[in-house]
Amino acid sequence: MARIRKIPRNPESGRHYYLVDANFLARKHVPLKFVPAGSDRDRAAACRAWWAEIDAQLDAGRARVYTPDICIAEAFKVLANWYYVQKWFTRPVDYQRVRDRLSAEIRTDTKALKTTFRPVRFHDIPMNRDIIVSVDRFFEIFMKHRKHCSVPDLIIAATAKYLREFFDIPKDALHIVTLDRALRDGIAKVPELPAAYDPTLPAHAATKVFTD
């Protein structure tokens, strides 16, 4: 296995930038007591440990979180699946509470937006021409390596390229967080893309990745 790049809690560049996928985002506000015991709960706990690290950096002004707008819709779809299909939540109020917390996470009220210093912790990236063009390119690259990804997954890779090129985010400061193995493996085949992490892998556990 390739060596896992560490993420210092106090970045030399001044700030980390996390690009997260729908499944990682959806798990942020689900209390572990609602997650079935076993591998599902272990995966959820691993994601919560990563979110604790990211939130601490956000609170210290050392991080920003990005996600494509389509992944926000996907995250709510994931929550709906856990409620209606997998029956994680036995009461509607519990499901609604998790939805409300996720909604609050990604929303900034008008009053905050009007302030001189806008404490925006979460940034959604809308679809645009540059991302669409990159999706087509990455689709070909991934297929050559037999990595089959959905369009939302490919949008994650394309958005990483977009953030680097148009936001001038250094490669070492940008971190992709995804629970999709094919996407993570495909990203590893593209040198221009930053490292991708899966918090549910033992080698990518928060205790092993984040350093002082």
| pLDDT tens-place string over residues 7-40 | 999 988 789 999 999 999 999 999 999 999 999 9
Number of domains in the chain: 2
Same domain, 93 and 34: yes
Q: For residue 112, what pLDDT is reported?
A: 61
Predicted structure pTM score: 0.93
Same domain, 143 and 98: no
Same domain, 134 and 156: yes
- Tell me the three state secondary structure of residue 148: coil
Q: For residue 106, what pLDDT is reported?
A: 86
Residue that finishes a domain, picked among 79, 106, 123? 123
Q: For residue 66, what pLDDT is reported?
A: 97
> Has residue 194 been placed in a domain?
yes
Neighbours of 132 (CB within 10 A): 11
Note the pLDDT tens digit of each residue in 75-120.
Answer: 999 999 999 999 999 999 999 999 999 999 888 666 665 666 656 7
Residues in the chain: 212
Residue 91 domain boundaries? 22-62+70-123
Same domain, 31 and 76: yes
Q: Which residue in this structure is represented by tokens 């996720």?
A: 102
Same domain, 118 and 132: no
> Has residue 9 been placed in a domain?
no
d(CA 94, CA 16): 32
> Has residue 55 been placed in a domain?
yes
> Has residue 16 been placed in a domain?
no
